[in-house]
A and B are shown apart, each in its own frame.
Chain A
Amino acid sequence: MEMRDWNILLVDDEVEFISTLAERLELRGIPNRVVYDGESALKAVAENEPQVMVLDVMMPGLKGLDVLQRIKVEHPAVQVILLTGQGKTRDGIDGMRLGAFAYLMKPLDLEELIRTLAEAMQARSGEQS
């Protein structure tokens, strides 16, 4: 699948971070949507299921791992890439146990994110074929 056909949802309460990241992905031809909290993420997935979701673990209100658990029950095909803090590998490991595809640490390496997105897309097509 071409990058321009990807359907990515970005979820993070740090507005300046996630909106700038969204812009950089757009510049590389990767379409995406952005929401800023867990509740809106669940709503956005229900309305238009993304192939991959990039989800911050630490958000006010509904936490990233709670969102992940709900997504894995209600929309198991969605691949979830978690964003965790430096030095807090435990969140990433817990997330992997709950079904996340991968976890990356902030600040992000954009090229690494794009590589992981591509792998998640491939894993999703593999699961669906």
Chain B
Amino acid sequence: MSPVATEARFMGKVTAMTMHEMQNILAIIRESAGLMGDILRINAKIDFKHRPNMERTLDHISTQVERGKKLLEATSRLAHSPDDDLLLACDLSIYARTVALLSERQIRLKGAAVHFTPASSPLPVAVGALMVLMSGYHAVQWAVGPGGKNTDIHIGLEPGLTEHGLTITPPPGQDVDPDQLNPDSMNLPGQAARIDWDGQRLALFFPARTGE
């Protein structure tokens, strides 16, 4: 194993352990806020001055737990991506969602939003999870360009027989240059994936993994 791969594994392992702790912290916050909500509901007839403030605060906690849960999912998937069972193959439907979750903040900072349409079934591909994440993330950055209002990005999937595609659609009229899609900088060496730009949407096609 190369030193870089060893380092990626180390970072992944430590991050995954930390995320496991975060998950327990979120779970405790969610259940504790949930219990307070339960008690307020049971005592719905008892009115007190600050009931609306409490209810609003519990709503905020619940919203933030959901937000944290998504970040946790994305970071955990990223952390586990150098694991043995994900080095050479993964489920594209899971990692396309992870690309969308990981890109959200970057896209939001550019004043845009990311929309993800999930697949209806697993899409096993013969490419490692880390490679899908890196190439997908890079492609999303390319698609959003400088960003701004009305520059929402759509991420989706195109299932096929011999290959499955991760699709990224920039907003109509967005000035994107397909020549900037360099396979090397997208971590797509050799035959790992086929890049297809049809003038409207970019697709990264990965070889389907058969015999699952």
Contact = CB atoms under 8 A, between A and B. Distances in A.
Interface of A: 14, 16-17, 20-21, 23-24, 27, 58, 85-90, 105-108, 110
B24 A20 contact: no
Q: Which 3 A-B pairs have the closest CB atoms?
A: A87-B76, A20-B31, A107-B27
Given A27-B42, A86-B76, A87-B19, A107 B30 contact: yes
Residues of B in contact with A, size category: 20 to 34
A27 B38 CA distance: 8
Nearest to B70: A86
A106 B38 contact: no
Contacts of B16: 87-88
B80 A24 contact: no
Interface SS of chain B: helix, strand, loop or mixed?
helix
Contact of B72 (A14, A86, A89): A86
A88 B77 CA distance: 7
Contacts of B20: 58, 85
B94 interface: yes
A24 B34 contact: yes
A107 B26 contact: yes
7 contacts: A17-B28, A20-B28, A27-B38, A85-B20, A87-B19, A88-B76, A107-B65
A15 B126 CA distance: 41
B77 A17 contact: no
A85 B73 CA distance: 8
B23 interface: yes
A89 B94 contact: yes
A85 B27 contact: no
Nearest to A20: B31
A85 B94 CA distance: 15
Contacts of B57: none
A108 B79 CA distance: 21
B209 interface: no
B153 to A, nearest CB: 22
